[in-house]
Amino acid sequence: MKSYAIITDIHGNASALAAVLEDIKQRKADHIFCLGDMVGIGPDSNEVMSMLLETQNVSYVLGNHELAVAAAFRGEDPPLGHHNERAHHQWLADRIDKHYIEFITDLPKKIIYEVLGYTFYFAHYHLDMTDHYLTIEKNPSIEQLDSFYSSSDYDLVCFGHHHVIHHLTSDRRVYFNPGSLGCNHKPIARYGFVEVSESGINVESIQIPYDNTDFLNSYERRKVPDREFILKIFHGV
Model pLDDT for residues 149-173, shown as the tens digit of each residue: 988 999 999 999 999 999 999 999 9
Q: Which residues pair with 114 in a beta bridge?
A: 119
Q: Given this model, what pLDDT does residue 202 score?
A: 96
171 alpha carbon, distance to own chain's centre: 26
Is the model's pLDDT at 208 over the cut of 80? yes
Is the model's pLDDT at 137 over the cut of 90? no
CATH code 3.60.21.10 for 2-110+180-235: yes
Alpha carbon distance 35, 122 (integer Å): 7
Is the model's pLDDT at 86 over the cut of 90? yes
Alpha carbon distance 163, 159 (integer Å): 10
Q: Which residues pair with 204 in a beta bridge?
A: 193
Q: What percent of the chain has pLDDT over 70?
A: 97
217 alpha carbon, distance to own chain's centre: 23
Residue 80 pLDDT grade (very low, low, confident, very high; cuts 50, 70, 90) = confident
Alpha carbon distance 78, 83 (integer Å): 6
Hey, how many other C-beta atoms are within 10 angstroms of the C-beta on 94?
Answer: 9
Q: Collect all residues with Cβ–Cβ distance below 8 Å to 35 and sequence separation of at least 6.
A: 6, 7, 8, 9, 61, 63, 122, 123, 124, 158, 159, 160
Digit-coded pLDDT (tens) for 1-21: 999 999 999 999 999 999 999
Instruction: Return the H-helix or E-strand segment holding 64.
Output: helix 64-74
Phi and psi at residue 4, to the nearest 5°: -140, 135
Alpha carbon distance 50, 230 (integer Å): 23
Q: Given this model, what pLDDT does residue 127 score?
A: 78
| Cut 0.85: pTM above it | yes
The DSSP 8-state label assigned to residue 83 in this structure reads G
Rounded to a whole number, what is the largest CA-CA distance in the chain? 52
Q: Collect all residues with Cβ–Cβ distance below 8 Å to 219 and sequence separation of at least 6.
A: 43, 227, 230, 231
Q: What percent of the chain has pLDDT over 90?
A: 85
Q: Given this model, what pLDDT does residue 134 score?
A: 66
Hey, how many other C-beta atoms are within 10 angstroms of the C-beta on 113?
Answer: 16
